[in-house]
């Protein structure tokens, strides 16, 4: 199966730093981000202040060198979605509200972008190598229930955090993707790749300590005792070695 070629376009100023280098370096059997383009200024939205309708978003140019063009903006989108699929083959992701929500739970914005690139890539194959426009309707594989799955609807915006740290493909979605002739080896590779989308190690450790304080204390005590024993053993060995050397 050929990897899906994706071009990422940054639209206007982003309020928080985004490590697009991580997105470009990411390796997947499902997709490949082949280019990063920038449009310095976002056009004025006419629907409401700093909100784009799908008709206005159609002005974003599709990159013919890729199969899908993904634009990223701080503006709100039609119907308050964080993702809109346009008839032109362009997908738009909005960081409005999402950026602040993820920052509160120490989840990098790059996780949000990667999670949605996987959702786009999987949906592209599920829909017969195309992406139906959002105005046509919601594909059946996208579900209301929050399961930490890349196809979570996330109607409650705060729920997005559950699928941006250790996202998965839930069992019903695996079955649906398998029925659409997505090779099983690719699906298994994607599941392994999704596990790499995690919060930074420091925050994972802090969460572990918060959830299991007694176990964390036991580990810290046992680790300290082990280090002391190793240190004493090394000191005794060095003293004996030096004694023989004399």
- What are the pLDDT digits (tens) for 32-91? 999 999 887 676 655 566 788 888 888 888 999 999 999 999 999 999 899 999 988 899
Q: In the prediction, which pLDDT does 203 show?
A: 41
Percent of the chain with pLDDT over 90: 50
Q: In the prediction, which pLDDT does 40 show?
A: 74
Q: What is the mean pLDDT of the chain?
A: 83
Give the sheet arrangement for strand 83-85, strand by strand: 31-39, 4-11, 68-73, 90-94, 83-85
1 — pLDDT class (breaks 50, 70, 90): confident
Q: In the prediction, which pLDDT does 228 show?
A: 59
Domain 4-202 has CATH 3.40.390: yes
Q: Which carries the bigger pLDDT value, residue 203 or residue 60?
A: 60
Q: Is the pLDDT of residue 98 over 70?
A: yes
Q: In the prediction, which pLDDT does 84 show?
A: 95
Cα–Cα distance for residue pair 166/209, rounded to 1 Å: 18
Q: Is the pLDDT of residue 212 over 80?
A: no
Q: What are the structure tokens assigned to 86, written together?
A: 């346009």
Q: Is the pLDDT of residue 115 over 70?
A: yes
The runs of H, that is alpha helices, within the chain are 20-25, 54-57, 98-104, 109-126, 171-179, 184-194, 201-211, 213-245
Q: In the prediction, which pLDDT does 162 show?
A: 87
Q: What are the structure tokens assigned to 211, written together?
A: 């959830």
**Beta carbons within 8 Å of 94's beta carbon, 6+ residues apart:** 73, 74, 75, 76, 77, 81, 82, 83
Q: In the prediction, which pLDDT does 26 show?
A: 95
Cα–Cα distance for residue pair 232/219, rounded to 1 Å: 20
> Distance from first CA to last CA of the chain, Å, rounded?
69
The model carries a pTM of 0.81
Q: In the prediction, which pLDDT does 133 show?
A: 95
CA contacts within 13 A on the Cβ side of 203: 11
Please compute Rg for the chain using Cα positions: 23
């Amino acid at each position: 199966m050929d990897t899906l070629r994706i071009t990422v376009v940054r639209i206007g100023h982003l309020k928080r730093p985004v490590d697009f280098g991580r997105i470009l370096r990411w390796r997947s059997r499902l997709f490949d981000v082949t280019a990063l383009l920038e449009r310095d200024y976002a056009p004025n939205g006419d629907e409401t202040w700093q909100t784009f309708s799908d008709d206005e978003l159609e002005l974003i140019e599709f990159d013919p060198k890729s199969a899908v063009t993904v634009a990223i903006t701080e503006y709100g989108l039609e119907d308050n979605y964080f993702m809109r699929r346009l008839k032109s083959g362009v997908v738009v992701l909005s960081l409005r509200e999402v950026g602040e929500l993820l920052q509160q739970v120490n989840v990098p914005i790059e996780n949000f972008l990667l999670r949605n690139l996987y959702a786009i890539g999987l949906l592209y194959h599920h829909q017969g190598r195309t992406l139906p426009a959002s105005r046509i309707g919601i594909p059946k594989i996208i579900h209301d229930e929050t399961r930490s799955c890349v196809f979570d609807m996330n109607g409650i915006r705060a729920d997005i955090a559950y699928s941006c740290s250790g996202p998965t493909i839930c069992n019903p979605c695996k079955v649906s993707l398998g029925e659409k002739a997505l090779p099983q080896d690719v699906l298994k590779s994607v599941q392994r790749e999704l596990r790499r989308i995690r919060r930074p190690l420091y925050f994972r450790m802090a969460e572990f300590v918060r959830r299991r304080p007694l176990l964390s204390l036991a580990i810290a005590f046992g680790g300290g005792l082990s280090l002391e024993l190793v240190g004493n053993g090394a000191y005794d060995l060095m003293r004996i070695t030096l004694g023989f050397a004399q």
